[in-house]
Amino acid sequence: MLPHFYSANQKLRERIEESIRLRSQEKSGAFNIPAKILFEGDQFGVIRDNGDEDISPLKKLEGSTVITKEDMSNNKKIIGETIDEIAEQFAKQQSSMILSELSKTPNQIDGKDKPLVDAILEALEVMLIDFDENGSAIMPTLVMNPVLFEKAKDIFVLADKDPKIKNKFDSLMERKKREWNDRESTRKLVD
Amino acid sequence: MIERVLENWLTNASERSYQVPFCQALTGMGQKVIHSTRHCAMEMGKDIIAQDDDGYIHVYQLKSLKGRKLTQSEYRSDIAPQLNSLILGKPIHPSIPENSKVKFAYIVMSGDINEEASREIDDLNRTLEQSNILTRVKTITFGELISLFSKNLHKFGPREPIHSKLFLELFLSNGKDFLPKEKLFSLLEVGMACDVPPTKTQTNEIISSAALICSLTASNYQMESNWFAEFECWGVYTICLMQFSQKWELSSKSIQTELDIALKSMYMSLEGLIDECLEREENITEGNALADSLLATYRRSHLLGLASLYLLWSETIGNIQQEKTLKIMSFIHSQIGKIAIWGESCVPFIFSYILYCRRSNEETSANKIIKELITTIIHRNSKGSNFPCPSPYYSATDCISLQFSLPDSEVREDFTNSSYTLYPLILLMTQFGLRNELVLSET
């Protein structure tokens, strides 16, 4: 073994891996999805309010790249490019996995032949929305493709101006607040 | 605890691992170690040759059995063929007088010997006696080695909890990183401490015990073939030995054998590193390749200095192999232009290269690199610099942690307008007749 700089190598490796993780989350839009570490076991399960159980095994995501000796001499460039490249690979796999899992859930909305506003309201209808101590809704993140995003970003502005849409939205929020209150009051504090 | 650690170490040790403390133990027993093998291609069949006070020669063949028992079949296939050379082959060495006689040939093993193999050795000894051959074959087994090593370690090894903790930290290190030299220094300082001038016996025991502590410390580094850590380990031992000798005003002759053994270990580690370097050619990557791209220039600085040191040392001891020297010189020249200094603790490595250049009549290269070094230190420690050159009290790891703002960085100082090595480098330039260039550098 040549003089290794082992501890420095390990710390730099951790920093690079963290950068890849954050960049891949940005690219996949998964940065708002809560992350948990699984300390034991090899499966992950979700039990929904309606009693549905969903068990899934762990899935491996991996990314790789080739770095040549010549590349190594320009380390700043190669690190930046490698982080981007691997993050891109992870992001694609993550998005594909998330969409695949989502498609198995019963909460799917068919947006075809429907105004976008109605599709969004229907999507919010099936989602759990929490509220903070001031009673304001903690709105969920809607992930959509860039084309749809351009159309959707003005929806909430329109919603304020159009009384019909505003009414629908306000009733939805009231229902969600009641659901949240029910959840909070039936929450088990002690087993 | 010490004995458990010793047993654990000896069970996993290779011949090379326990060779040095064994040599030191022999010195402690009054034998003069004349030869200690480098375990190279040219094996003489005798790993260690020593001479006792009566002038008789003792030869030792080391075996690593990893705690097993030597079986009869193993003895016949592995040991017996070497015994002829051990017993009958006259040890050839400039320090061995012509008419010297081999009294005992030892098979030293980090394991035991089964009854059948033991019987074969007894039969051999009877045959030698009947043939009027002086030499007798003896064995030194695992238990005897443990007794030999632990005897002094109990007296001079770590006893206080804090020193035991240091000792265990060193012994249990993963072996891949740099040697934590401060810890080893602390441990040896404690082990070699005396309130009153030590007697000759005590001196031998202290030195022997210190060598064993170093071997135990170096064991995981040896297993990882971490040559530089081994080199530093024996370097620390050498310095402590010299410090001990100076403190108690011992004559250089009284520690010469031990010093020679330690310096030889350093040289062998350095040689191992250089051999690996040459084998790997341009592939000097270690660990994670991406992270390593930020560290490769520093590794090159290390290797440049160590390769230069190896050539200078080999020349001094007369171990010059033409073809290998040319390959090393080619390697050294290929590193220039690709190195960087992490901090002032890198300067000795560069200085080693400067010395090599001066010795090889390459003054131009030497002068160029001194100037570059001075310019770099001045530039990096100028006001407003955001890439300081930390003082030589900070290791490569500390400097890299500072540079990349890694967690647990221990560097808190401001190095603006300060340097430990600038002044000696300037004096060096003056000595090399570059005073005029120095003035130009300043402007």
Q: If we measure between CA atoms, which residue out of B89, B84, B78 comes closest to residue B113? A: B78
Query: What does the pLDDT read at residue B41?
Result: 46
Q: Which residues of A touch B277 (CB under 8 A)?
A: 2
A5/B273 touch (CB, cutoff 8 Å), yes or no: no
For the beta carbon of residue B38, count every other beta carbon within 10 angstroms: 17
Helix or strand or coil: residue B35? strand
Q: What span, in angstroms and rounded, lies between the C-alpha atoms of A84 and A70?
A: 19
Q: Which residues of A touch B401 (CB under 8 A)?
A: 8, 11
**To 5 degrees, how large is the angle CA B418–CA B420–CA B425?**
110
Contact B33, B27 (CB under 8 A): yes
Q: What span, in angstroms and rounded, lies between the C-alpha atoms of B150 and B4?
A: 10
Please, what is the average pLDDT of chain A?
Answer: 82
Average pLDDT over residues B68-94: 76
Query: What does the pLDDT read at residue B311?
Result: 95
Give the chain A residue whose CA is nearest to the CA of B299: A3
Give the model confidence (pLDDT) of B137-158 as tens digits.
888 999 889 888 887 777 777 7
Contact B45, B85 (CB under 8 A): yes
B286/A10 touch (CB, cutoff 8 Å), yes or no: no
Query: What does the pLDDT read at residue B410?
Result: 78
Query: What does the pLDDT read at residue B350?
Result: 95
Give the model confidence (pLDDT) of B259-307 as tens digits.
888 999 999 999 999 999 999 987 888 988 888 888 999 999 999 999 9
B75 confidence band (pLDDT: 50, 70, 90): confident
B287/A9 touch (CB, cutoff 8 Å), yes or no: yes
Q: What span, in angstroms and rounded, lies between the C-alpha atoms of A18 and A109?
A: 35
Q: Which residues of A touch B406 (CB under 8 A)?
A: 8, 11-12, 15
Query: Chain B residues within 8 A (CB-CB) of chain A?
Result: 174, 176-178, 224-228, 273, 276-277, 280, 282-296, 298-299, 302-303, 338, 396-397, 400-401, 404, 406-407
Residue B178 clears pLDDT 80, i.e. is over it:
yes
Give the model confidence (pLDDT) of A78-130 as tens digits.
888 889 999 999 889 988 887 787 777 666 667 677 788 888 888 888 888 88
Q: Which residues of A touch B407 (CB under 8 A)?
A: 11
Cα→Cα distances B322→B85, B315, B318, B327, B333, Å: 30, 11, 12, 9, 17
Point out the residue among B227, B295, B407 whose CB comes nearest to the CB of A1: B227
B111: which residues sit within 8 A by CB, 6+ positions away?
Answer: B63, B65, B66, B67, B68, B69, B70, B141, B142
Query: What does the pLDDT read at residue B51?
Result: 87
B291/A16 touch (CB, cutoff 8 Å), yes or no: yes
Average pLDDT over residues A14-33: 82
Q: Which residues of A touch B299 (CB under 8 A)?
A: 2-3, 5
Give the model confidence (pLDDT) of B407-427 as tens digits.
878 788 889 899 999 999 999
B178/A2 touch (CB, cutoff 8 Å), yes or no: no
B439 confidence band (pLDDT: 50, 70, 90): low
Contact B440, B330 (CB under 8 A): no
A4/B290 touch (CB, cutoff 8 Å), yes or no: no
Query: Chain A residues within 8 A (CB-CB) of chain B?
Result: 1-13, 15-16, 67, 69, 71-73, 75, 78-79, 82
Nearest chain B Cα distance for residue A65, angstroms: 10
Point out the residue among A6, A11, A72 whose CB comes nearest to the CB of B176: A6
Higher-confidence residue of B305 and B49: namely B305
What single letter denotes the amino acid at residue B84?
N
ipTM: 0.80
B397/A2 touch (CB, cutoff 8 Å), yes or no: no
A1/B177 touch (CB, cutoff 8 Å), yes or no: no
What single letter denotes the amino acid at residue B300?
R
Give the model confidence (pLDDT) of B386-409 as tens digits.
889 999 999 999 999 999 988 878
Contact A108, A123 (CB under 8 A): no
Q: Which residues of B touch A77 (CB under 8 A)?
A: none
Total beta-carbon pairs less than 8 A apart between chain A and chain B: 105
Measure CA of the first residue to CA of the last residue in chain A; give whole Å.
56
The H-or-E segment that residue B50 falls in is strand B48-51
Q: Which residues of A touch B394 (CB under 8 A)?
A: none
Share of chain B above pLDDT 70, in %: 93
Query: What does the pLDDT read at residue A27?
Result: 83
Residue B128 clears pLDDT 90, i.e. is over it:
no
Give the chain A residue whose CA is nearest to the CA of B225: A1
Give the chain A residue whose CA is nearest to the CA of B408: A11
Give the model confidence (pLDDT) of B333-349 as tens digits.
988 888 999 999 999 99
B401/A2 touch (CB, cutoff 8 Å), yes or no: no
B443 confidence band (pLDDT: 50, 70, 90): very low
Share of chain B above pLDDT 90, in %: 32
Average pLDDT over residues A146-167: 78
Q: Which residues of A touch B283 (CB under 8 A)?
A: 69
Query: What does the pLDDT read at residue B396?
Result: 92
A75/B407 touch (CB, cutoff 8 Å), yes or no: no
Q: What span, in angstroms and rounded, lies between the C-alpha atoms of A86 and A167?
A: 46
Question: Which segment, B87-96, B228-237, B358-367, is predicted with the most confidence on average?
Answer: B228-237
